[in-house]
Amino acid sequence: MPCDCISCYFYGRFKMSLSKHIRKEIQEFFINRVPADERTVISAVDNLKKASSLAMFFCINSRKELDEIRHLSGKALKDYKSLRIFVFTNSHESLDVITNKSISFFNLDDFTLFGKMKEQLSELIEKNKFDLLISFDKSGFPVCQRIISEIKAGFKIGADNTKTTHLYHLTLACKEDEFNMDRFYEQVRHYISILNIKTIS
């Protein structure tokens, strides 16, 4: 008969937490061993002002950030005909239940112990193509670099970070302590409107 005393309960929770921590360390070890490819590019519109399909990538740590993403998705849907949002958290925890079909939430459970994408995530990224990718990632985590590099987009824009510059066609400088998703999106839209940005064919 299993013991239901408090000490055994906390010991069980500690073992589970330790197991997840060890699994995360192993995954990150293997992900670090395979460098992310540089920009995965597809032929798309000849000018970003004509872009109709948008992908956005986020690496988050809290439910509060999810609320910001939901708000931002409403704004982006007014600017683009189609939208897909990729939300990643660098843990084995699920921050929330996503009901918005345009938002795909995933975490380290979507990767094998050896750092490979599991089938569902791999297929989601493989089957979708976009005119534009905007990455809001400031972490520079290797797993985030891998995902960004795999997403198929005609043009990729991200926040300036020495770890991830090679993944983007255009990076925008922003201070770490002042980074705001909504403001960054508006900054990207501003530069698209004033620059004659042609996608790579």
Amino acid at 176: E
Buried b (16+ CB within 10 A) or exposed e, 66-100: bebbeebbeebeeebeebbbbbbbbebeebeebee
**What is Dmax (Cα atoms) for the chain?**
71
| Inside any domain, residue 119 | yes
Q: Residue 15: which pLDDT band, with cuts at 50, 70 and 90?
A: very low
Taking phi first (over 0 means left), then psi (-120 to 50 degrees means alpha), and beta for anything else, what does residue 150 get? alpha
**pLDDT for res 62:** 82
| Inside any domain, residue 80 | yes
| Inside any domain, residue 23 | no
| Inside any domain, residue 22 | no
Strands 170-172 and 152-159: parallel
Mean residue pLDDT of the chain comes to 78
Q: Which domain, by its residues, includes 120?
A: 48-194
- If one counts the domains in the chain, the total is 1
**pLDDT for res 86:** 94
**pLDDT for res 92:** 76
**Cα–Cα distance for residue pair 163/138, rounded to 1 Å:** 10
| Inside any domain, residue 100 | yes
| Inside any domain, residue 32 | no
Other C-beta atoms lying within 10 Å of the C-beta of residue 14:
10
| Inside any domain, residue 117 | yes
pLDDT tens for 186-197 read: 999 998 888 776
| Inside any domain, residue 113 | yes
Q: What is the CATH number of the domain that holds 68?
A: 3.40.50
pLDDT above 60: residue 108: yes
- Higher-confidence residue of 27 and 68: namely 68
